[in-house]
Structure 1
Amino acid sequence: MTKPKLNQLEMLVAVADEGSFGGAAAALDCTQSRVSHGIGELENTLGQRLLHRSRSGCTPTDAGHRVLATARQILRLAASLGDAAREDAAVAGHLRLACFRSVSTHLLPSALAALEADHPGLRVDVDDGFEERDALAQALRDGRADVAIVQLPAGAGLRTRDYVADSYVLVAPGSLALRAPLSWEQLDGLPYIQLDCAGALGVAARCREAGFAAPPARTLATDSSIAALAARGLGYSILPRLAVHPLPDGVQTMPLPIPARRQFAIAAMPATAREPAARALIRYLANPALQRQSEAYRKGLLE
């Protein structure tokens, strides 16, 4: 089946807007006979008369009105294709991306490598020294970061796009005999080590509501230090799964007795999120195909 051509749709819209073939020809900078021929071909293709023709001008038929509405949409979409191509070609500049260390280690490499290959004029500096989720959102509000991978809820005033999620798990010495499903009683007598950040403290509070009663024997600021202590049999903790991957020798993980999930989102201030460079970075970060290239995805650490 023959399909309508874009230039025929342009002619139909021009005739409807100008009210005559002559006016359409002037608007399109072509001859009147070319417009007349194009409209005739379009009517033959669709099998419908689209215009009432008279000495005073042209007006759309009922079918013409219906076709015009769709034609205008098609022409707008066609124009947007060119805009999108030009935007990607022009992506360049410098962006600052803020995130947790575990995100930087396990999720960013594939996305940043693809972005750099496609847009060599765009440089992304990564600051992965954040330990608190509120600090990431504040870095965006203060202008110290352009884009951040935050933990939800991120607070008001940010434009967010869902990213990946992981779970909090029990991190314990590998020598400890644990049985699934885990019960808090299996941990009796072993020191509990608390990670000192809002997310881990919140999960610990939820666990206490579900019967977990051990007081912290130690409180540390970094998950890697806690994992090292667990490897030496000096205690157990509740940590995000990504934060302890790859597992050190002598450490095991188990699902908690209650579900505890950490949902990430890609965030930016609304004005920044509309800029071509930021839009490109967000698009590459959110690309599922690039996420699947990560070892964390292949090992089932992400949800």
Structure 2
Amino acid sequence: MTRPKSTSAHVQPTLAQLRALIAVVDAGGFGEAAAELNVSQSSLSEAVGKLEDLTGRPLLRRSARGTVPTPAGLRAVGHARSAVQAAGDVLLAAQDDSQLSGVLRVSSFRSGATYLLPPVLVAFRQQHPAVTVKLLDGDRAGAGEQLLRSGQADLALIEGVSAVDLSLTPLLMDDYLFIAPESRGTQPVTVQELAESPLLLSPRGDACFQRIETYLGRLGIDTSSATEFEQDSVTLGMVRHGLGITLMPRLALLPVPDGLVLLPLPEPLSRPLAVATLPWRARLPLIQAFTAALVASLGSASGQTTPLALPVWNQSPKLEPEARG
């Protein structure tokens, strides 16, 4: 049913109304959104109703999946996110670099959240105790970019060297390795071995599988019969017991389990890692500070002058760090 449009041409939606729409869309229902915002369901319904009065059409509808946006609501919620974000950015832009506060939402894939972010979070918390960092799941292909563009994340660790409409700061190149039972030995890996070995890989929906599928396809190797596992630890356990081989980025292998041999691939494969944000938000002090902390952490860990370098490793089965002078 079409709602009557407001008679005042100058009337604009309030931030409270926009936040109400966003909350209901994200939560999938008025009750859930009210609980998350710690407000009454009636006040949330009233805010969305007033917004619908202004637009002259319904923005939400009930379905078997809960409360979902109508086509008009789907278009509106994207602009609502931008408006709410821009209002908050006014305050963030005025902050002093030495007195940062607020909430920073960081999206990351699993291995980045496990091994790259923890030391950064410790150092960042010590330097900026008034900032709360929330981690978001960006494990599926394109999830980090989508969270940024929808306004649900402020920063995202992503794989790639370019992304449409995003500002990227390169972090490192993460090499993929061949992983097999330790009993295999350390002789060089051949294309024939890759073709003839049972493949144990991550799920087809994530970026890692897609990159490996493309790589093996160039070598003439079909991945249609590969066995998929959600958890890397499960995959490595299967490999350790001789049920197949796998390919994984070096970062995802830390700490290296016993009973495995890790070797270079016949042809190199790597994934470039970067931290991404929206270009018009890249200079916000809070975002600049966290990006700088991440780059500094990687540079310190690698002992290199450039962030585009992982720590130097031996090619031994244990993948131990080389001694540094």
TM range, smaller chain = 0.5 to 0.7
The alpha carbon displacement at 1:199 in A equals 3.2
The alpha carbon displacement at 1:98 in A equals 0.9
What amino acid is aligned across from residue 160 of structure 1 in structure 2? L
Name the TM-score, length of structure 1 as normaliser.
Answer: 0.63
Secondary structure at 1:107's aligned position in 2? helix
**Other-structure match for 1:273:** 282
What amino acid is aligned across from residue 138 of structure 2 in structure 1? F
Deviations 1:125-176 (A, max 9, x none): 223x332231111111112211111110452011111111211111111222
**Other-structure match for 2:201:** 194
Secondary structure at 2:209's aligned position in 1? helix
CA distance 1:209–1:187, shift in 2 (3 Å): closer
Secondary structure at 1:201's aligned position in 2? helix
Q: Percentage identity across aligned positions? A: 29
One of 258, 264, 268 as aligned partner of 1:249: 258
Structure 1 spans left out of the alignment, 5+ residues: 1-85
One of 149, 152, 161 as aligned partner of 2:169: 161
Secondary structure at 1:286's aligned position in 2? helix
**Number of matched residues?**
214
**Other-structure match for 2:183:** 175
Decide which structure has the larger Cα Rg and report it.
1
Structure 2 spans left out of the alignment, 5+ residues: 1-94, 304-309
The alpha carbon displacement at 1:245 in A equals 1.6
**Other-structure match for 1:260:** 269
CA distance 1:276–1:270, shift in 2 (3 Å): same
Deviations 1:9-65 (A, max 9, x none): xxxxxxxxxxxxxxxxxxxxxxxxxxxxxxxxxxxxxxxxxxxxxxxxxxxxxxxxx
One of 156, 162, 179 as aligned partner of 1:148: 156
Give the conservation status (yes or no) of the 8 Å contact 2:180–2:262: yes
**Other-structure match for 2:236:** 227
- Decide which moves more: 102-111 or 164-173: 102-111
Name the TM-score, length of structure 2 as normaliser.
Answer: 0.59
Give the conservation status (yes or no) of the 8 Å contact 2:213–2:223: no
Task: Give distance in 2, aligned partners of 1:178 and 1:299.
Answer: 15
Structure richer in strand, relative to its length: 1
Correspondence 1:1-303 to 2 at 5 A: 87-127=96-136, 129-180=137-188, 182-186=189-193, 190-196=197-203, 197-212=206-221, 216-287=225-296, 288-292=298-302, 297=311, 299=313
The alpha carbon displacement at 1:112 in A equals 1.8
Secondary structure at 2:148's aligned position in 1? helix
Supply the RMSD in Å over aligned alpha carbons: 2.7
Task: Give distance in 1, aligned partners of 2:195 and 2:103.
Answer: 52
Deviations 1:91-128 (A, max 9, x none): 1111011111211222222222221111111121223x
